[in-house]
Every structure is written in C-alpha cells, then in structure tokens.
Amino acid sequence: MNVLNFALVGLSTAAIGIAAGAGALPDPVFPPWPLFSAFLIASLVLAVTPGPGVLYIVARSLAQGRRSGLVSVAGVALGNLGNALAAALGLAALFAVSATAFAVVRYAGALYLVYLGVRMLQSARAGISAAPPTQPAPLGRIFRDGFVVALLNPKTTVFFAAFLPQFISPDWPPLPQTLALGAFFVVIAAVTDSLYALAAGAVAPRLMRARGAPRLARYLGAGTFIGLGLFAAVAGTRDVR
C-alpha cells in the first residue's frame, strides 16, 4: 500500500507540474484519498469474492497447473477491461445528457448492489464447486476461453455501472474517471486472481476439501455489496439535501 501511495503521489505531482507549466490543471481521474481508499478496500474485498472468472481460473489451475491458471487470469482480465470500458462509455454518454440521470443511476446502482448482496447471502449455503476440465487445452484456447467467460458475463458490465458511480464526481468529466477506476479495479482483480491461480496450482487437494472458505468469502462479499449500497443511498440523500 505504501508503494502504491508513493506511486500515485509521484504521478500526480508530475502531472500537476506539467499542467502548471501549460497554465492549466488537469481534471482529476481519482477521487480524494479518503474516498479512494474506500474504493481500494471495497475493490479488494469484491475482487477476492469467487465468481465465474475465479471459478474458471481455479478449474484451469487445478487441471493444468500454475501456467495455465495465469494465462486464464490474463484472459479474464482482458474481458473485465472490456466490460469496464463498455460501462464507462455508457455512463459517460448518459451523465453528459443530464445531471438527473447521474442521480438516477447512482440510486439504481445502490439498489442493485443491495440486491446482489441479498442474492449472494441466499446462495451462500449452496457452496462453490469448480470441477476442472478433464482434457488439457492449449494456452491460446485457455486465454480465449477466459476472455469470453469474463466478457460475456452481463452482470460484470452492470456491476461496473452500479459500482463506479459511487466514487466519481459529477463536477468532472465522467469518462476519464470511470475508465481510470475501472482499469484500477481490473488490475486489483488480476492480482487477486493470480493468487487464486498460484494457490490452486500449488495446493489443489487442500482447496478441494476446504468448502468453508468459499462460503465465508461469499458472506464477506455479500456484506460488502449491501453495506456499499446502503452507504451510497445515504450519501445520495445527503447530496440532495
């Protein structure tokens, strides 16, 4: 975290210095640090929550080892980035039309986050099963499948559309903000997915027997969704007042 802070401060200082020489300051793409730290924590918790992409990565790692798992991570990350880009472009076009649309999407996003949390709580008892493929596949196909698994998951784009507005400011252009936050979330998810791949490739038998850990992760993710949705609703009410 300290390295990340130093990197952000260094990049921000350099950008401000260049802009100051040009006579103008750039629009911020990241929120102020207190809100950005909340974004990082929420992103980390949500990224470690198992979903279709994680299940695919774990399955490939269990079947073909760490290398295939890491290739799967790259494919899933690219698909998630495509979803983040689609959500960013859609939000930018919508928010450019009306400030009311921003508030509508914000509240709709808050409700959707709570809905996801409730559904995750309901399905927590079902557990997680990630059966690995029986036949080895070439790395190119593994990358392609990971990309398709992530890109064709409609909930991912809707999630970005619900999650990102909680951390962007209506006073600045939404496109660079949503693109930056979306890309940052994809990077965080790629790191956590890589840990899943490395762990699954190294301790596959123990992962298959540890059924309680995925269930706990689902409860944690559900609490994060619901808490974030309620926080967004309360914050939106304060803004209106």
Confidence of residue 5 (pLDDT cuts 50, 70, 90): very low
Confidence of residue 202 (pLDDT cuts 50, 70, 90): confident
Residue 92 contacts residue 178 (beta carbons within 8 Å): yes
Please indicate, yes or no, whether the overall pTM of this predicted structure exceeds 0.85: no
In the prediction, which pLDDT does 55 show? 79
Mean pLDDT score across all residues of the chain: 74
Any idea where the domains of the chain sit in the sequence? 1-30, 35-240
More reliable by pLDDT, 120 or 4? 120
In the prediction, which pLDDT does 97 show? 66
Residue 199 has pLDDT above 50, yes or no: yes
As a whole number, mean pLDDT of residues 13-42 equals 63
In the prediction, which pLDDT does 94 show? 65
Residue 232 has pLDDT above 60, yes or no: yes
In the prediction, which pLDDT does 148 show? 85
In the prediction, which pLDDT does 143 show? 94
As a whole number, mean pLDDT of residues 200-206 equals 72
More reliable by pLDDT, 61 or 112? 61
Identify the weakest region by mean pLDDT among 27-36, 40-49, 90-99, 148-157: 90-99
As a whole number, mean pLDDT of residues 168-187 equals 89
As a whole number, mean pLDDT of residues 135-163 equals 80
The per-residue pLDDT for range 72-102, each reduced to its tens digit, is 999 999 999 998 998 888 766 666 666 776 7
Residue 125 has pLDDT above 90, yes or no: no
